Amino acid sequence: MKNDLARVQITDSISDELAQRMNDDLIAYEQEHGVDVNYKRFSFILYNGNDKACAVINAYTAFAEIYIDDLWVDSEHRNCGYGSILLQALEEHFKGKGFNNINLCTSAFQAPEFYLKCGFIPEFTRINSQNPKLSKTFFVKFFNEEHEMQGIISKSI
């Protein structure tokens, strides 16, 4: 197969047809290994009394984990506890549903101390010696569920 490779291309997006083919093949591979990708994107939005969005978590589930992509609090509403409220809502929503953990990655300039206060554990930090503000800390918070069933394909007997 290597002999028929002709080129590598960078693109901003792929066609729907290619995305579907890729997705179908990934799912088949995961199923061969008894794993369910369980991929779903979602957001939690916090509104103020005037129904204006003032904080958002963008995240997704994959396998038995919840990945936080972004946590945003409007600059007018920072240091009011809104980030903590959203994280608590996320945790409460998924607790008891068979997930293993919530995880995220944040840069040094993005207040990693906040996640420590919210009970997240740093797994490791990738140091950027050229620009320390861009050093990244990877955090996790485990659910410690007795029955972790997300991401596993159950076999019928």
> Residues 28-81: pLDDT tens digits?
999 999 888 889 999 999 999 999 999 999 999 999 999 999 999 999 999 999
pLDDT digits (tens, 9 = 90+) for 94-114: 999 989 999 999 999 998 999
Tokens standing for residue 82: 């809104």
Residue 21: inside a domain: no
Tell me whether strands 136-142 and 101-107 are parallel, antiparallel or unpaired: antiparallel
96 within domain boundaries: yes
- Residues 141 and 87 sit within 8 Å (Cβ to Cβ): no
125: in domain? yes
6 in any annotated domain: no
Secondary-structure percent of the chain, ordered helix, strand, coil, rounded to 5: 30, 30, 40
Domain count, the chain: 1
Outline where DSSP puts E strands in 28-128: 40-47, 53-62, 65-73, 101-107, 121-126
Instruction: Confirm whether 8 is domain-assigned.
Output: no
Is the overall model pTM greater than 0.95, yes or no? no
First vs last C-alpha separation in the chain: 39
The enclosing domain of 108 has a CATH number of: 3.40.630.30
Residue 18: inside a domain: no
Q: Would 84 be classed as within a structural domain? A: yes
The domain in which residue 119 lies consists of 38-157
Q: Is residue 64 situated within a structural domain?
A: yes
